[in-house]
Amino acid sequence: MNTALLKKTLRLLAEMAVIGALFLLGGKLAAWLGWPIPGGVMGLALLLLLFACGVLKPAMLQLGAGWLMAEMLLFFIPALMSLLDYGALVRDEGWRILLVIALSTLVVMVVTALTVEWVCRWSLHREP
Amino acid sequence: MPLFWLLLTLLAYLGSRWLYRRSGRYLLSPLILVPVLLLAVAIPLHTAYAEYARNTHWLMGVLGPVTVAFAVPIWQQRALLARHWPALLTGMVVGSSASIASSWGLAHLLALDTATSLSLVPRSITTPFAMPLAQDLGGVPELTAVFVMFTGVLGALFGGVLLRWLPLRTPLARGALFGVGAHGAGVSRAQEVGSEEGSVAGLVMVLTGLLNLCAAPLLALLL
């Protein structure tokens, strides 16, 4: 077996284990504090804290975090299959739902881009 | 065969990812091809969602650790955030408000039922944040994931056209358009436009998700 590949795989698994542990710890912490925050968000905050204290460096988790984010689609495919139970909804409201999504997406994109552009130009204007 | 759906899901995902990387055709991207393939097998077999989910639902559990992993891009882009936070924060707040108001308003205008309308509200943020937000608001998280997917597919298409029409001079505005409007699918498109646009889109996507989730108690009161 290729040792470089083996090393990379072990490293990927170790990094994902650290991220997974932070997720579980985040969930426990949120439950203990009684805060209505998902474990993932609490874990994200913990990880940012660890970066800020210098306990961990982003490079140490780059491989695992990169893999999780790159393959994210795989993890929500099962949710998409809920469509199997919504045949009636798709038939009765499908086109209206698509229309809402399409129009709203256009609105969001135009409004966001123009807002950011205006704030940028305005601040450039102020500081010569 | 108990693991049939899990194996089919993994195979469809790996196959589609390989095809998309080789061909670069948007219609072959896993975001579109995998659900289409799986539905094409499941619908003729009259498979219920519960049956499909029995051995595959644990995949959704990995979305929690994905949320934790988002800390890495936030930390790496903190200089960008420190320099441009007024523009980015304003864009995220205004964009998210526009998303929530237009989804909710249009859903009412077109007389969609309440559960569907509530599930539409988080549709422009990334799935790991959108599903818990839908839960908080009283929507259906799985339906929200479907709406998020359609938002990504449509947003990635619209974004390219809008870039030609809108007078945007800054990479910040071009990146924010994709990050707030079309989450993950938008970030991939933004990376094709430019590396700065890609970084902005990735950062804004994560922060918009966080912002929306933090606003959940307020939204629950309003809607």
DSSP result, B104-124: HHHHHHTT--HHHHHHHTTTT
Band of residue A126 on the pLDDT scale cut at 50, 70, 90: confident
Q: Please give, rounded to a whole number of angstroms, the shortest distance from the CA of B81 to a CA of chain A.
A: 13
Residue to substitute from A29, A53, A80, interface B, most B β-carbons within 10 A: A80
Start-to-end C-alpha separation, chain B: 44
Put simply, the chain B residues between 1 and 40 with a CB less than 8 A from any chain A CB are 9-10, 13, 30-31, 34-35, 38-39
How far, in Å, CA of B6 to CA of B10, rounded? 6
Residue A16 amino acid letter? M
Average of per-residue pLDDT across B32-47: 94
Average of per-residue pLDDT across B34-41: 95
Cα separation, B7 vs B17, in Å, equals 15
Please name the member of B38, B107, B184 whose beta carbon is closest to the beta carbon of A72: B184
pLDDT confidence of residue A1: 64
pLDDT at A91: 92
- Looking at residues A12-22, what average pLDDT do you find? 96
Q: Write out pLDDT tens, residues B7-18.
A: 999 999 999 999
Each residue's pLDDT tens digit, B111-138: 999 999 999 999 999 999 999 999 999 9
Mark yes or no for CB contact B71/A62 under 8 Å.
no
Residue ranges of B 84-103 with Cβ closer than 8 A to chain A: 84, 86-88, 90-92, 94-95, 98-99, 102-103
Nearest to B78 by CA among B217, B206, B209: B206
Query: Inter-chain contact A116–B52, Cβ cutoff 8 Å?
Result: no
> Scanning the structure block, which residue is given the tokens 């086109």?
A95
Scan residues 177-216 of B and list those with Cβ closer than 8 Å to A: 177-178, 180-182, 184, 210, 213, 216
Q: Is A34 on the interface with B (CB under 8 A)?
A: no
- Give dist(CA B103, CA A50) in Å, integer: 37
Show residues of chain B in contact with A58, CB under 8 Å: 72, 75-76
Structure tokens at B123: 């549709």
Q: To the nearest whole angstrom, how far is the Cα of A114 from the nearest Cα of chain B?
A: 7
Contact indicator for B190, B175 with CB cutoff of 8 Å: yes
Query: Which pLDDT belongs to residue A127?
Result: 64
pLDDT surpassing 90 at residue A119: yes
Q: Which of A125, A20, A28, A32 is nearest to A75 (CA)?
A: A20
CB contact under 8 A, B146 and A82: yes
**Placement of tokens 């010569």 in the chain:** A128
Average pLDDT over residues A38-66: 94
Q: How high is the pLDDT of residue B74? A: 92
CA-CA distance, B211 to B169, in Å (whole number)? 26
Residue A121 buriedness (CB in 10 A; 0-12 / 13-18 / 19+)? middle
- Residue A128: predicted pLDDT: 55
Q: Which residues contact A75 (CB under 8 A, 6 or more apart)?
A: B59, B60, B61, B62, B63, B66
Cβ distance A117 to B67 less than 8 Å, yes or no, reads no
Q: Does residue A80 have a pLDDT over 90?
A: yes
Close Cβ partners of B150 (under 8 Å, ≥ 6 residues apart): A98, A101, B123
B-facing residues of A in 51-70 (CB < 8 A) are 51, 58, 61-62, 64-66, 68-69
pLDDT at A100: 97
Biggest CA-to-CA distance, chain B: 56
Greatest distance between any 2 Cα atoms in chain A: 61
Tell whether the model's pLDDT for residue B1 goes beyond 80. Answer: no
On the 0-12 / 13-18 / 19+ scale of CB atoms within 10 A, A55 is exposed
